[in-house]
Amino acid sequence: MIRAVALALIDSVRPMDLVARIGGEEFAIILPNCGSAFGQTVAERVRRRIESTPVQVSPMLQIPVTASVGGAFAPQWVRCTPGLWLERADQQLYRAKAQGRNLVQLEPAAISVVSNEEKRLLFDTFPMTDHE
């Protein structure tokens, strides 16, 4: 099942995009240089591709597969950690599952609110190293 979903994900994105299994049955897709206006289109394409790929367990048994998708945007001007992006995407994933599963939920737009951790990444000064 995991392999079938992974192949469906890879077939749904551009060669420059990154598909990664982040644990269990959860995957992440990073879409560099993909404007927020296209996020919904890509996410729906991924969801439909997975839904249209039942897994053949035996000659007589196919298991249907669906996916709930949550997404977060990474504005270029905000320095953010992967952990924060995953946290924001997870919030949207939980919304998709709560609304009935096999749905896409993305942040309404690129987040313009900067969290305390992001502010720290932006404004804290870091000690200079010998090679700087």
Task: Give dist(CA 28, CA 45) in Å, integer.
Answer: 15
Tell me if residue 25 is catalytic: yes
> What burial letters (b/e) apply to 70-100, b meaning 16+ CB within 10 Å?
bbbbbeeebebeeebbbebbeebbeebeeee
Distances (CA, A) of 88 to 11, 40, 76, 104, 116: 25, 16, 16, 14, 14
Q: Is 27 helix (H, G, I), strand (E, B) or coil?
A: strand
Residue of 25, 26, 87, 117 marked catalytic: 25
Q: Is 115 left (phi over 0), alpha (psi -120 to 50) or beta?
A: beta
* 128 DSSP 8-state letter: P
> Catalytic site residues?
25
